[in-house]
Chains A and B, each alone.
Chain A
């Protein structure tokens, strides 16, 4: 699609494998994963539970070390990229610090990265506005619903404006309506900022709506089953979910997921 004029790989993995040595034998969380993600791509990882989506994201983020294969982020090792604060990570759980207010939680990365106090305040305000939490700045996490907490964690990951966003089922805990709304907001944000996004989801419509590339994964060992390109116009709205083209891609994803499953049984 027309998103990336001068495409350069942001993430490049070749034959990436990761085996966890556990008490009851090795777990092959990733096996032979080769994937190239260009600047400005919106890549969704979809697949059944336990197929290694989180693990792949954690390898990209240098939170987990691959046992085999190569990976580079912006031409650097994940470790160097992490030290350069190349990415923002939204975890599967909100992981807010309970002793910090919502505002202070969003300011956490800014404090660590040494933003000025006024800059912090401004960014926190913008972040709260973006995820519709204005007015909750002074509340503590336990005073918010799970979905609101997750939105706060999204604002936190965006607060320092990283070029690469790694999002692990960020909308999993939200109801359908809020989810739709945040999907559209995320799309607008991506369109506006040209960020590269790697996005884990269990929802086929969500993946098709948001992505330029859908990576279908299959479990045991976790590997890439299919990569489906998906180039809807950048200014799309939720309405396209009714179009035949959309349903066509969605069907291909569903087909891929089915094959991945039957592969095991």
Chain B
């Protein structure tokens, strides 16, 4: 039983989590101690014990580093105990972020695949387009996001779309790169076979290139969906009036609500994990249908 746990994933993961938690609590003491001492002296309390100090560092309202326990309490409060329609609910903010993320992911994936098809089939585009695709990712998204929002605003495009566009800007890239590689992955013999049937380019594309690219595509989609979420959160820092995890981070840092910031961060990471896992499930279903070895 213990053996099975140890060789499975559960125990190692639990062990690492426990070590991290201990380090984290110690970090909280270390980072919050000064402020706690100040707080005690302001209150005229000078004869505090070490355990009082430690307890204090773990229960501040605006600690430099909140404890995992405080973050969990905040998550519990803002996810389960708040009505999902309330602007204080992380479920509300999560749904705002997720919807822009998914729209951006959709746009980015379609754009990425389209570009890959062009790059693979039009020789001149391989040389002319690919450098631009790469260059596009060298501009920091944090600098680009406000400009995209402002420019789209100029054309009366508001709401979810500008955020999705920023998400798509980050997510198309891995899809293009992965899909180009995938569409080029058939080996010469597999290509020769198509030639002996004098298959058209479209037939070769549909019956050989596309199926060969599927494993590459899913690997990129996993990266793309996480990038899409990052893009959306960055966009929400610029465009915070609609809410979302990014808006929550911004508000938290504005008011020094560190617990709120950490809770939003954890919720965002949780969402990313769920999205990546969902793509992974889709990957497994599709590759199984395509006869992959179990």
Contacts and interface: CB of A to CB of B under 8 A. Distances in A.
Nearest to A141: B291
Contacts of A113: 197
B196 A61 contact: yes
Contacts of B293: 142
B198 A83 contact: yes
B125 interface: no
| Chain B interface SS verdict (over half) | helix
Given A95-B190, A111-B207, A89 B291 contact: no
A100 interface: yes
Chain B CB within 10 Å, residue with most, of A63, A83, A91, A97? A97
Interface in B267-294: 290-291, 293
Interface residues of A, number: 26
Given A83-B198, A85-B198, A91 B192 contact: yes
Of the four ranges (under 10, 10 to 19, 20 to 34, 35 or more), the interface on chain B belongs to 10 to 19
Contacts of A62: 195
A113 B193 CA distance: 13
Nearest to A113: B197
Chain B CB within 10 Å, residue with most, of A63, A83, A88? A63
| Chain A interface SS verdict (over half) | loop
A70 interface: no
A101 interface: yes
Contact of A112 (B207, B211, B214, B291): B207
Nearest to B193: A95
Contact of A98 (B195, B197, B207, B291): B291
B189 interface: yes
A99 B196 contact: no
A138 B291 CA distance: 10
A99 B199 contact: no
Contacts of A82: 195-196, 198
Given A95-B189, A140-B291, A89 B196 contact: yes
12 contacts: A63-B196, A82-B195, A82-B196, A82-B198, A84-B198, A87-B196, A89-B192, A89-B196, A91-B192, A97-B190, A98-B291, A142-B293
Q: Which 9 A-B pairs have the closest CB atoms?
A: A140-B291, A99-B290, A89-B196, A95-B189, A112-B197, A99-B211, A112-B199, A83-B198, A109-B197
